[in-house]
Homo-oligomer: A and B are copies of this chain.
Amino acid sequence: MREDDAYRAATMYYLQDQTMEVIAKTLGVSRSTVSRLIKSAREEGVVRISVRQPSGSGTNIGHRLSATFGIKTHVVPVREHATELHRLEQVAMVAARLLTEWATPQMVLGVAWGTTVTAISRHLAPTPVRGSSVVQLNGAASTAAGGVTYAGDLIASFARAFDSTPYLFPVPAFFDFAETKAAMWRERSVRRVLDVQRHVDLALFGVGAVAADVPSHVYNAGYLDDAEMAQLTADRVVGDVCTVFLREDGSYRDIAINARATGPSPGDLRQLARRVCVAVGEAKVPALLGALRARVATDLIIDETTARSLLDRLRGSVRP
């Protein structure tokens, strides 16, 4: 009843360009109610709005990035002086919209966890996708409490939005011993999830930066001890993708801790058709550069300011 009214109101508003006043009279409710109906229609995914990039947008930032790394880039316009938190919110909104736009029946969506992905999850409008699954890409349990429920809620919120089957990955972010990982990887319960991960059609992840203003989750939630942090610095690690650490040049294979990490390596990721990387914040630029050089992404969603920083660093002219 209510949903049907929302549908009727949305049709009249968006498809027939009627004012809410007129719609209110037709439906026999107050204008305020119509406003709320239309809002709920948007939030419930009854209304979908997409914006397509005009083909001939010439020399702008997005196209430069796309050309350099051979990826599709979505640059989110933001005001110059906008705070990083504000920008994160903007980018997350756009990412959430694009994601629902890219959803296809039977899709397997792989999601990592972190501040960025969590922000995206807050902006997802419900978009039922027949036969879809959502799978957690990397383990989240840590010595500190809360990692599992945190990641669990995150996956659940994606699964709810797409009406998908959720697959959790109940392993720690890092094993203490590489042998344990090897052992667990032989367990059928784990293998089942790994198998789903290999069939991911659309992977979604952010990048972690070791030195960030809004510090990335991994480096602050008790996942790593002091010795490990020191080792990262010694290894010239600048950040991570799916809790696999990277250097700015994109190398990662010889970083010891990665043998104990549970997320897919850049090499694993590259097997997947579509890999969407979302990044906000100048501090993430070195890590992002490493990620792009490791070719982890096919799509990049980034705010204008960070994008500019990235291009600057590429040219070698690092700004203060």
Interface residues of A (CB under 8 A from B): 3-4, 6-8, 10-12, 14-17, 22, 25-27, 41, 45-54, 56-58, 60, 76-79, 90, 93-94, 97
Taking the closest CB of chain B, its distance from the CB of A67, in whole angstroms, is: 17
B3, A54: Cβ atoms under 8 Å? yes
Copy tally for this chain in the complex stands at 2
A sample of 22 cross-chain residue pairs with beta-carbon separation below 8 angstroms, ordered by A number, consists of: A3-B54, A4-B58, A4-B60, A7-B51, A7-B54, A7-B57, A10-B51, A11-B77, A12-B77, A14-B49, A14-B51, A15-B51, A15-B93, A16-B94, A26-B77, A26-B78, A27-B77, A41-B51, A46-B52, A46-B54, A48-B50, A48-B52
Residues of B within 8 A of A22 (CB): 79
A15, B57: Cβ atoms under 8 Å? no
In angstroms, Cα B19 to Cα A88, docked, is 18
Residues of B within 8 A of A25 (CB): 79
In angstroms, Cα B3 to Cα A123, docked, is 27
Taking the closest CB of chain B, its distance from the CB of A300, in whole angstroms, is: 15
In angstroms, Cα B60 to Cα A27, docked, is 14
Q: Closest 10 A-B residue pairs measured CB to CB?
A: A3-B54, A4-B57, A14-B49, A8-B77, A10-B51, A15-B94, A26-B79, A15-B97, A16-B90, A49-B49
The closest CB in chain B to the CB of A77 belongs to B8
The closest CB in chain B to the CB of A7 belongs to B54
Choose from B4, B8, B16 the contact partner of A93 (Cβ within 8 Å): B16
15 extra A-B contacts, CB within 8 A, seeds A7-B54, A17-B93 = A3-B56, A3-B57, A4-B57, A6-B54, A11-B76, A14-B49, A15-B49, A15-B93, A15-B94, A16-B93, A16-B94, A26-B77, A46-B51, A47-B51, A48-B52
